[in-house]
Amino acid sequence: MGSSPPDTSKTTKLERYNSYIRRVNSTKLLQASSKLLFRVTLLVALVLILFFTLNYPPISDNPHHIHATNNLFSSAFYGSGAGWEKQVRHSSTPRRPNGFSVLVTGAAGFVGTHCSLALKKRGDGVLGLDNFNSYYDPSLKRARQKLLEKHQIFVVEGDINDSELLHKLFDIVPFSHILHLAAQAGVRYAMQNPLSYVNSNVAGFVTLLEVAKSADPQPAIVWASSSSVYGLNTEVPFSEGHRTDQPASLYAATKKAGEEIAHTYNHIYGLSLTGLRFFTVYGPWGRPDMAYFFFTKDILQRKSINVYVTQEGKEVARDFTYIDDIVKGCVGALDTAEKSTGSGGKKRAPAQLRVYNLGNTAPVTVAKLVGILESLLNVKAKKHVIKMPRNGDVPYTHANVSLAYRDFGYKPTTDLATGLRKFAKWYTSYYGIESRVKKEIQSDD
Ligand SMILES: O=C(O)[C@H]1O[C@H](OP(=O)(O)OP(=O)(O)OC[C@H]2O[C@@H](n3ccc(=O)[nH]c3=O)[C@H](O)[C@@H]2O)[C@H](O)[C@@H](O)[C@H]1O
């Protein structure tokens, strides 16, 4: 870059020389600043590209599943400082004598919301944790969060893989229990985003257990396993002692892995661990990726629905379990959970390790489920009966719950027709479509 030579006509030699040096320096400074600005811009652009690539994986082609996020940067969303800590403490403080202080992971999820409300209602302290990922409509999760806030339940926005955040929460609150419900759910979505299952159900669970084992006191942990662990098992009804080494989906395999991981942390560190095998849970505030939910939506919109039958043309059935029964099971498991026995990362004595089925004990075919919805919504479904795609679904589930009954009096009381009526009432009111459905749903309590 050229600078003009010094003018010799009017000033002294020294002044002219100094002025020349100043001009050369300022030109150099300008060049250096431009280079620096360019490099900083490039760096910012790279950081932004990395951020959006990691946080927004490709959108799936399934209308019910948008995408799950890794939330590697979720810690940016949790607060710090005195105000935030006060909220964490306040939410976790029990309001009844000998009340629990429970960390509920996946608190803005379907089961998480219902359990958090039930615990809070009876006077336990409840702190929620949720990463609000977009596996399904996050606005539904935000609406559940609002409901929780109305009942003084604070939900920390963060990921179970964020051990720094978890340690921080345990530094603030000596949780007596963890109700671990955060997971990548859904059987069929595992074909589209397999690693999200490993990330949440395996890595996330291990991260949580690592923090729990080194907490003092160690909490007792109750967590969500799944009926899907029975996989290709043909003995019915499914009992806890049956084979669970033939998972039919990656989802099932990661839940089964969770049960084995639970064994390890119980064995080495003395953590008290109870796994609950949920059987197709449904109800108000449910998950939009589940069949009963999107069937309702599609039937109301006069769209066709796929009703699966087995490869042999037989009907497919599920032991659909109503949310209130599941909540009773979760609370029963928490109430009977013994204390963990370790401290400072060391086991002091053998600790409790349990697994229970939580089902309804009355399987219903998918065709019957559709029939109930048709009657409740007063709309004839456009049924498209097809052979179940090879996507991890199993043909039949049926729970034997005698173990849960023996140990904490678990007894499901809601049949599918009653439960779906409550769901339809919530659905039509939440989505503001009361006028189109049967009046009797609206008048039902
Ligand atoms: O118990 C569990 O551990 C799991 O329960 C739930 O899985 P599932 O029992 O498979 O429920 P869900 O998808 O509602 O399908 C219901 C029925 O509809 C059939 N189905 C499904 C889709 C479709 O288009 N057509 C159809 O017939 C389908 O074949 C099935 O027979 C949870 O999602 C899962 O997270 C896990 O918790």
Tens-place pLDDT, residues 167-179: 999 999 999 999 9
Beta carbons within 8 Å of 102's beta carbon, 6+ residues apart: 92, 119, 124, 125, 126, 127, 175, 176, 177, 178, 179, 334
Which helix (H) or strand (E) element contains residue 302?
Answer: none
Asked whether 150 and 140 are in contact (CB, 8 A), the reply is: no
CA distance 326 to 276: 9
**What's the token pair of residue 22?**
């100043």
Q: How far apart are the CA of 406 and the centre of ligand 1, in A?
A: 28
Q: What is the ipTM of this complex?
A: 0.99
Longest CA–CA separation in the chain, Å = 108
Listing DSSP states for 358-383 in one string gives E--S--EEHHHHHHHHHHHHT---EE
CA distance 290 to 80: 36
Q: What is the pLDDT of residue 52?
A: 41
CA distance 422 to 126: 26
CA distance 100 to 123: 8
CA distance 338 to 353: 9
Q: Which residue has the tokens 């009804």?
A: 237
- The catalytic residue among 197, 230, 251, 308 is 251
Which helix (H) or strand (E) element contains residue 355?
Answer: strand 353-358
Candidate from 196, 249, 255, 280 with most ligand 1 atoms within 8 A of CB, to mutate: 280
**What's the token pair of residue 311?**
């490869």
Tens-place pLDDT, residues 97-129: 999 999 999 999 999 999 999 999 999 999 999
Q: How far apart are the CA of 105 and the centre of ligand 1, in A?
A: 22
Candidate from 393, 394, 401 with most ligand 1 atoms within 8 A of CB, to mutate: 393
**Torsion-angle region of 398 (φ positive above 0: left; ψ -120 to 50: alpha; else: beta):** beta
Pocket residues: Cβ below 6 A from ligand 1: 185-187, 226-228, 278-280, 290-291, 306-308, 316, 318, 366, 388, 393
Listing DSSP states for 69-118 in one string gives ---TTGGGGS--SHHHHHHHHHHH--SSTT--EEEEETTTSHHHHHHHHH
**What one-letter code names the amino acid at 39?**
R
Q: CA torsion sign, 92 to 96 to 98 to 102?
A: negative
CA distance 106 to 129: 6
The SS3 assignment for 423 reads helix
Atom of ligand 1 nearest to the CA of 318: 31
φ, ψ at 120 (rounded to 5°): -65, -40
DSSP code of residue 176: S
**What's the token pair of residue 304?**
């066709």
Report the number of secondary-structure helices (H) and strands (E) in the chain: 14, 13
CA distance 74 to 44: 19
**What's the token pair of residue 385?**
């009966």
Q: What is the pLDDT of residue 335?
A: 99
Listing DSSP states for 109-147 in one string gives SHHHHHHHHHHHHTT-EEEEEE---SSS-HHHHHHHHHH
Q: Name the nearest CA neighbour of 143 among 111, 110, 116, 118.
A: 110
Atom of ligand 1 nearest to the CA of 305: 24
Instruction: Report pTM.
Output: 0.85
CA dist 130 to 40, 293, 360, Å?
A: 34, 22, 28
Atom of ligand 1 nearest to the CA of 277: 3
Residue 154, strand partner residues: 127
CA distance 270 to 350: 6
To the nearest 10 degrees (0 to 180), the angle between helices 366-377 and 416-430 is: 50
Beta carbons within 8 Å of 420's beta carbon, 6+ residues apart: 282, 292, 369, 372, 373, 376
Q: How far apart are the CA of 280 and the centre of ligand 1, in A?
A: 7
pLDDT along the chain (445 residues), means of 10: 37 47 50 59 52 35 33 48 96 98 99 99 98 98 98 98 98 98 97 98 98 97 98 97 98 98 98 99 98 98 97 97 99 99 92 99 98 97 96 96 98 98 97 71 61
Asked whether 436 and 300 are in contact (CB, 8 A), the reply is: yes
Q: What is the pLDDT of residue 80?
A: 73
The number of beta carbons lying within 10 Å of the beta carbon of residue 313 is 8
Q: How far apart are the CA of 60 and the centre of ligand 1, in A?
A: 18
DSSP code of residue 218: P
Q: Is 230 a catalytic residue?
A: no
CA dist 16 to 20, 286, 385, Å?
A: 6, 81, 93
